[in-house]
Amino acid sequence: MIKSPRGTRDLLPPDTALWNFVEATVRDVFRAYNFHEIRTPIFESTELFARGVGEETDIVAKEMFTWEDRGRAESDRGQSLTLRPENTAGVVRAYIEHKLWDRGLNKLFYIGPQFRRERPQKGRYRQFYQIGAEVIGPAASGSESPARDAEILELLATLLDRVGITGWTLELNSVGCPADRARFNEALRAALEPVVAKMCADCQRRAVTNPLRVFDCKVPEDQSVIETLPRISQFLDEGCRTHFEQVKEILTAVGVPFTLNGRLVRGLDYYTRTAFEFTHGALGAQNAILGGGRYDGLSEALGGPAAPGIGFAIGEDRLVLSLAATADSVLRTPDVYIAPLGPGMNREAARLARELRRSNKDLVVELGDESFRLKKSFEAADKLKSRYILIVGENEVKADAFALKHLASGEQVSVPRAELAARIARH
C-alpha cells in the first residue's frame, strides 16, 4: 500500500471543520484590520531564500527541498528552485516585483503550505501550514513606527482570543539594528570561545558561522551555558531602545500582556528590532504557536527599495492542535436527513432538498436513497448526528406535507412544504 510521505499527512473530516473555522475566523480578523490577501507560488528561486532568510540559518543550510529545474526552455535549465520554507521572503519579492507601494498595498496576509525537511514531531510536519501577515512599505507610510509593531501584536491577541486559544503568553525582545548585532556578535563569540566545546555539534558550528543562532538551541544540556551568555538588550543603541520602549508602552495601554525574553532572537537573519513569540502550554516543550518580528532591511537585501516591515507566521497545524479539545463545538452536522421511501421518491427528495437549501443557505441537508428501508434511513441519520429526519413517501408528496422527526426528543409532526425550512431552522 502506498502511504503519504514521511512528515506529511492527510487532513480529513471532521478535523477539516476545525481548520475551516480557524481560517474563516482569521480572515474576519484580518478584514477588520484592513489586511488584504496575497497568494505567492509554493516554489521560488533558491536565491530568494539564501539572500532573504540567510545562508547560515538551519532552514537554508539543512531544511529546504531544493532541485535543479530541467525545463524544456533553455532559460529554465540549471535554475535552482526551492519549495518555500517560509513566506515572508516571497511576499517581499512580490511587493518589489509588482511595485505594490504604488497601489497603496502595504498590509498583506496569506494562508498556505510551507515545506521544510526537518524531523517530524508533535505539531511539526515537513509539509506544514502557515497563516501570516506583513506590514511593509516606505517609511512615509508609517511602516517603521513602533505603533505598527504594537498593532500587529494586538491583532494577534485578538485573533487567538477569537479562535478560542486561552492562556497564551506573548514573549517579547528587541534584536536591535545590524550595528547592534555586530557588536553583540563580537561579544558573543568571545563569550562562547571558552565554553563552546562543551556544547552540541550544532552550537559548535553556529558559534563560527552565526553565533546568534546558538540561542535557537533546544538541547537541554546546553541551556545552562546559554544562560551565562550576554543578551542583545545590553547592546541596543538609543534609537532601538526607544523604539522598543514605545512598543511596550502601547501594548500596556491597550491591555495586551507580555513578558520579556532576552534569549528570544527568532530563527531568521532578516529580523531587526522587535521580535516576538506567542506560546501555549498545550503544545509541550515545543510550545510556540506563532512568531515574527520586524525586518527593516529585507527589501533592500532582495534588490528593492527601502521598505521597513514587520510580520508574523502562525503554525496553523500547531494552532489547530491547541484547539483539538473544542473540535466538537465547531463541527457542523446535518440539520435534516431526507429519507425517500419507495420507487420514484429520489426525485421528490432531491426537489425538496434543493428547495430547503435555496430557502436558507445555512441549512445543512443530507439526502438518503429510496432503496433504503426506513430503519436503515434512521440509522444513517443517527450516525451522521442529524437533528431531524424528514420522511418523503408517496402519501407525503400527495399531501404536500411531510413527517419531520426530531431525533433527540422523538417528537414527530407533519409540516407543510412551505413551512419546512423555517421549522427546521427554528429548532
| pLDDT of amino acid 193 | 87
> Domain 15-177+237-327 is of which CATH architecture?
2-Layer Sandwich (3.30)
Alpha-carbon span 343 to 22, nearest angstrom: 43
| pLDDT of amino acid 268 | 62
Alpha-carbon span 272 to 310, nearest angstrom: 9
pLDDT at 325 over 80: no
Alpha-carbon span 408 to 386, nearest angstrom: 9
Of 1 and 15, the structure prediction assigns the larger pLDDT to 1
Cβ distance 12 to 261 under 8 Å? no
Question: 182 is written with which cell numbers?
Answer: 555586530
What DSSP designation does 215 have? G
| pLDDT of amino acid 198 | 85
CA 89 vs CA 68, 137, 247: distances in Å: 20, 14, 24
| pLDDT of amino acid 406 | 95
| pLDDT of amino acid 414 | 94
φ/ψ region of 342 (left if φ > 0, alpha if ψ in -120 to 50, else beta) reads: left
With bands split at pLDDT 50, 70 and 90, how would you rate the model's confidence at 187? confident
- Would you kindly state where each structural domain of the chain is located, as residue ranges? 15-177+237-327, 333-426
Q: What residues have CB less than 8 Å from 194, skipping those under 6 apart?
A: none
pLDDT at 426 over 80: no
- Helix, coil or strand: residue 388: strand
- Closest by Cα among 252, 290, 243, 277 to 149: 243
Give the CA dihedral 346, 349, 355, 356, nearest 10 degrees: -130
Exposed e or buried b per residue across 222-234, where buried means at least 16 C-beta atoms within 10 angstroms of its C-beta:
beebbeebebbbe
pLDDT at 282 over 60: no
pLDDT at 285 over 60: no
| pLDDT of amino acid 180 | 87
Alpha-carbon span 259 to 262, nearest angstrom: 10
| pLDDT of amino acid 69 | 87
Read off the pLDDT of residues 199-244 as tens digits, 9 standing for 90 and up.
898 888 888 888 888 887 888 888 888 888 888 888 899 999 999 9
Alpha-carbon span 102 to 33, nearest angstrom: 20
Question: 110 is written with which cell numbers?
Answer: 496569506
pLDDT at 283 over 60: no
Section 107-133 average pLDDT? 90
272 beta partners: 294
Question: 415 is written with which cell numbers?
Answer: 409540516
Read off the pLDDT of residues 135-171 as tens digits, 9 standing for 90 and up.
998 877 888 899 999 999 999 999 999 998 888 999 9
| pLDDT of amino acid 167 | 86
Section 277-289 average pLDDT? 72
With bands split at pLDDT 50, 70 and 90, how would you rate the model's confidence at 372? very high
Q: In what order do the strands lie in the sheet with 36-37?
A: 36-37, 107-115, 127-136, 309-315, 288-294, 272-279, 169-174, 259-260
pLDDT at 269 over 70: no
| pLDDT of amino acid 340 | 96
| pLDDT of amino acid 61 | 76
The continuous run of DSSP H or E covering 163 comes out as: helix 146-163
With bands split at pLDDT 50, 70 and 90, how would you rate the model's confidence at 328? low
Section 346-357 average pLDDT? 94
- Helix, coil or strand: residue 155: helix
| pLDDT of amino acid 266 | 67
Residue 130: count of CB within 10 angstroms of its CB: 21
Section 247-255 average pLDDT? 96
Read off the pLDDT of residues 64-102 as tens digits, 9 standing for 90 and up.
999 998 866 666 667 899 999 999 999 999 999 999 998
| pLDDT of amino acid 334 | 93
- Helix, coil or strand: residue 401: strand
Alpha-carbon span 373 to 58, nearest angstrom: 61
- Helix, coil or strand: residue 13: coil
User: What's the chain's average pLDDT?
Assistant: 89
pTM reported for the whole predicted model: 0.82
pLDDT at 124 over 90: no
Residue with cell 509539509: 127
- Helix, coil or strand: residue 144: coil
% the chain with pLDDT above 90: 57
The continuous run of DSSP H or E covering 273 comes out as: strand 272-279
> Domain 333-426 is of which CATH architecture?
3-Layer(aba) Sandwich (3.40)
